[in-house]
Chains A and B, each alone.
Chain A
């Protein structure tokens, strides 16, 4: 992925750059909003990471300007402000996602990949397939091999979200946001419980496991 990082805090920036480069991505780093906007409009990137609190300019305004000047690259905003109002403000000006500091790199990376690959997924097909697993998005019918599997609504939503982001890490927080619409972290094992029930239904009776746990980070669905 080609990534633009706009972040004034050197420590955070170096941490992100190091991790991204280890994953084989190329990073362009700017420390202020103007430079960031300039880079974003001249070069093409797969995804932009924009810090909210930048010297001289609110990242929010920068994103608004970028969107007005027709830069459609997916943007994820980083911020120390976790309030709902701030998150909503970020999404309102045209950011695609919002992540609160401090964050685990796996969380950021999962979101970056989800954003970078979002565009081709927009052509919504009614059937999603992964190996011998098929889900029909109109009837919500799930089959694996020749067996039809009955899923509860939440289990279906989790499976659908996982398959839409197949072969990518999906974190617990991403599931909470996209399946439950929660913007807070419940203490309990809400996600784990539902995922484990889902696995009991779609993986256990079969020889090959599709959903894999990445310990401490989240889940990946893949062949």
Chain B
């Protein structure tokens, strides 16, 4: 529980609650204002009907018609008290003037001068008030009629109700919103705490343990999915790193310990120059292999950084690869293998000459080293959809399918004893060069030998 409280941010809770409450109040207020104005319109419409009725009556029978209609006598003038009573009983008041002289009606209506229907408060003698609509209507050049109509009770009551609704809503909803918000916050905090403890448990078994996806936690579902995916990728990276460090350790330790042994032998053979020379030569060869491994690692890193992209140029790779392949032909011949070259003319690609040279040279060396004796190795370059297709393949024995996914991994070697020459970086460099050139490389399936298929894009 304490953890739950700690994990909840109360400032946020208050902020959210207030925000929700305020927006709900504003929405309600807008609805009420709208409703009221509808009702008001209705009232105004009723009043304008009355006004047009009076205008029609005047056109028919002049002032007399109106006096008849209002059921008063000419010259009858109401004082304030009478006016109040009339408004209460009939719901309306009038004053008929001729040349600004009151002919009949209420004496207390003189203030009404607007020629449009207007809303006012009408004050009774005892200072209480009601809502009225009034107008000063010119009948002709001399005669005016002033009309005042009380707003009917239905409107007044409804409006009052609406105001009350707003008041009560704003008072009551605040704690309600707060409760609801607290509830959702607590629920979320619980989910997060669960997630947190699940995450905390992962370092114990980082390779196998993943966060269980709970159906109740829908909002966290995709988050948990991403976390699991990230963990998988990190695990993958981690295992690559592990292979790498084992590889580095092995590839460096073996030649270094051999050098150490040589140095000891030199101490023993210090009197015999011929033996000494042999020790020196071998020690130097071993150190060279360490340096080569380091250089390859540094180079791999620099290729992967993509800096070389700045110096990319349009290259005629037909010429480049043909020259290289022809250079390698005698090397293959000397080791009893053959290299068949089939290069289409004028294939272009955007790239770095040095890197393309190294790409092809590494692939050819790979074929040279790992193919069967008397193997037929071939290199092909042809135009392809949006670019070029480069293939380097051999007649056997190929790469076991368990190794296929791993051949591009750093320091990976199919030869587990690591007794053969090489450091397991050659194909990693090949892959890095392909990636930086936007090319794809894969091993073709169902072939007798290892066939590397590289699709280069022209741009």
Contacts and interface: CB of A to CB of B under 8 A. Distances in A.
A113 to B, nearest CB: 22
B291 interface: yes
Q: Which of A82, A181, A190 neighbours the largest number of chain B CB atoms within 10 Å of its CB?
A: A190
Given A88-B311, A193-B330, A194-B330, A188 B368 contact: yes
Given A84-B352, A181-B353, A189 B331 contact: yes
Contacts of B352: 84
Contacts of A82: 295, 298-299
Given A154-B327, A193-B334, A216-B281, A187 B299 contact: no
Contacts of A189: 331, 334
B302 interface: yes
Nearest to A179: B327
Contact of B330 (A88, A182, A185, A197): A197
A193 B328 CA distance: 9
B353 A216 contact: no
Interface residues of A, number: 24
Contact of B302 (A83, A194, A216): A83
B365 A188 contact: yes
A94 to B, nearest CB: 19
B361 interface: yes
A70 B334 CA distance: 50
B284 interface: yes
Prevailing SS type, chain B contact patch: helix
B308 interface: yes
Contacts of A184: 299, 354, 357-358, 361
A183 interface: yes
A190 B308 contact: no
Given A187-B422, A188-B368, A85 B308 contact: yes
Contact of B331 (A84, A100, A193): A193
Given A84-B308, A85-B307, A190 B327 contact: yes
A186 interface: yes
A56 interface: no
Contacts of A181: 353, 357
Given A82-B295, A85-B308, A193-B334, A187 B327 contact: no
Contacts of A83: 299, 302, 307-308
Interface in A177-217: 180-190, 193-194, 197, 216
Contacts of B331: 188-190, 193
Contacts of B254: none
Nearest to B295: A82
Interface string B403-432: 000000000000000000110001000000
Nearest to A83: B302
B292 interface: yes
A102 interface: yes
Contacts of B353: 181
Nearest to A152: B326
Contact of A186 (B298, B308, B365): B365
Contact of A180 (B284, B307, B327): B327
Given A84-B354, A85-B308, A181-B353, A190 B422 contact: no
Contacts of A100: 295
A83 B327 CA distance: 24
Contacts of A104: 284
A188 B308 CA distance: 25
A84 B311 contact: yes
Nearest to B324: A180
Contacts of B334: 189, 193
A14 B85 CA distance: 125
A87 to B, nearest CB: 9
B291 A102 contact: yes
Interface string B255-293: 000000000000000000000000001001000000110
Contacts of A216: 281, 284
A184 B302 CA distance: 14
B299 A186 contact: no
Interface of A: 82-85, 88, 100, 102, 104, 154, 180-190, 193-194, 197, 216
29 contacts: A82-B298, A83-B302, A83-B307, A83-B308, A84-B308, A84-B311, A84-B352, A85-B311, A88-B311, A102-B291, A104-B284, A154-B326, A154-B327, A180-B327, A182-B358, A184-B354, A185-B292, A186-B361, A187-B369, A187-B426, A188-B328, A188-B331, A188-B365, A189-B331, A190-B327, A190-B331, A193-B331, A194-B330, A197-B330
Given A85-B307, A188-B328, A193-B330, 17 more contacts: A82-B295, A82-B299, A83-B299, A84-B311, A85-B308, A88-B311, A180-B327, A180-B357, A181-B357, A182-B357, A184-B299, A187-B365, A188-B331, A189-B331, A190-B327, A194-B327, A197-B330
